[in-house]
Amino acid sequence: MNEQEGNNLHEKISYTSSMMNIKRMSPVIGAEVIGADLRSKDQSEFNNIREALAEHSVLFFRDQPLLSPEEQVTFATQFGPLHAHPAAPAKEDNEAIFVIKTDSKSKIANGNGWHTDVSCDKEPPLVTMLQLHEVPELGGDTLFSSMYAAYETLSPRLKAFISKLSAHHKSEHVYRGRYSDRGVTDKSHYPSSIHPVVAAHPLSGRPVLYVNPSFTTEIHGLSKHESRALLDLLFTHQSRLEFQVRFQWTPNAIALWDNRSAQHFAMWDYWPQPRRGHRVTIKGAALEQGNEIDSKYYGNLRLSSSRL
């Protein structure tokens, strides 16, 4: 897709693809898909979903039945082989299923901080699919932020500076002891990797800002203080409200997101109510350095100074 085509698509509020209606939820990121059946084996329907995901970074499906683990895995594997989480508890009879479970006894809530899934892996997952079976009466929303927009809205000089940098992504501080209350025994070590700060999306080729406050610990080659200052600046920029969409879950709703072009944050504002579901992730490839470009996909954005 070229830049002009991207701009044209960004002008559409909703459009019909096959038998589905795809309705944008913000000018920057996210769309709701109405009329899709994720149990369907219709290849053209899946192709339309895959194209919509590439365009919007995260898709939401409310009109879905409760998927069996086999049905969820069958849909997800159309994107490619599944990724195995390095720490989280899996469903006993289906290791591909990451069981999402938060209740009054939980010490942590999955996803409760800005991140992209398992960025500490050498080949981080590309796509994640989550269906929540039980949701709180109020709260428990998930926020998504566009890393396409986060990169594009940086100044040209800052883009040039970070375009050749790489960063350490570590997980020891995240995963050790994290799932002990669910019977998971810690491993001897957890993954860490170095990825480009600006990565090329494997499908679109567009640059994304690929650092996050959960796993990214330092910029390679900078001093500790320089690294901290730059990461804090980038983390603050990534979480701007202008780049976000917020999804209010309903029972059996599904979110499908791209881990290269979006970050997410699951709110834990519903304790002690339960929140449960099943998640699967699709393998990705090692990240490649993104090219410094001056695109205009988000020319409609006017960033606030955070005060009147």
CATH of 3-287, one of 3.30.360.10, 3.30.1360.10, 1.10.287.70, 3.60.130.10: 3.60.130.10
What average pLDDT does range 173-199 have in this prediction?
A: 80
pTM, entire model: 0.91
Query: Sign of the CA dihedral 239, 240, 242, 243?
Result: negative
Annotated catalytic residue, options 24, 56, 85, 115: 115
pLDDT single digits (tens) 190-207: 888 999 999 999 999 999
Is 117 in the active site? Answer: yes
In angstroms, the CA 52 to CA 20 distance is 11
Residue 127 or 188, more confident:
127
Question: What DSSP assignment string belongs to the chain?
Answer: --HHHHHHHHT-SEEEETTEEEEESSSSS-EEEES--TT---HHHHHHHHHHHHHHSEEEE-S-----HHHHHHHHTTTSSBPPPSSS-EETTEEEEEEEEE-TT-S--TT-SSB-TTTTSSS--SEEEEEEEE--SS---EEEEEHHHHHHTS-HHHHHHHTT-EEEEE-HHHHTTTTGGGTPPPPS---EEEEESEEE-TTT--EEE---TTTEEEETTS-HHHHHHHHHHHHHHHT-GGGEEEE---TT-EEEEETTTEEEEE---STTS-EEEEEEEE--PPPEEPPP----TTTT-----S--
Phi-psi group of 137: left, alpha or beta (phi > 0 → left; psi -120 to 50 → alpha; rest → beta): alpha
In angstroms, the CA 238 to CA 115 distance is 10
Query: Sign of the CA dihedral 210, 214, 215, 221?
Result: positive
pLDDT band per the 50, 70, 90 thresholds, residue 18: low
Is 115 in the active site? Answer: yes
What average pLDDT does range 5-31 have in this prediction?
A: 75
For residue 17, the model assigns a pLDDT of: 67
List the domain boundaries for the chain: 3-287
In angstroms, the CA 78 to CA 76 distance is 5
Annotated catalytic residue, options 201, 260, 264, 278: 264
Annotated catalytic residue, options 83, 85, 117, 195: 117
Is 279 in the active site? Answer: yes
For residue 212, the model assigns a pLDDT of: 97
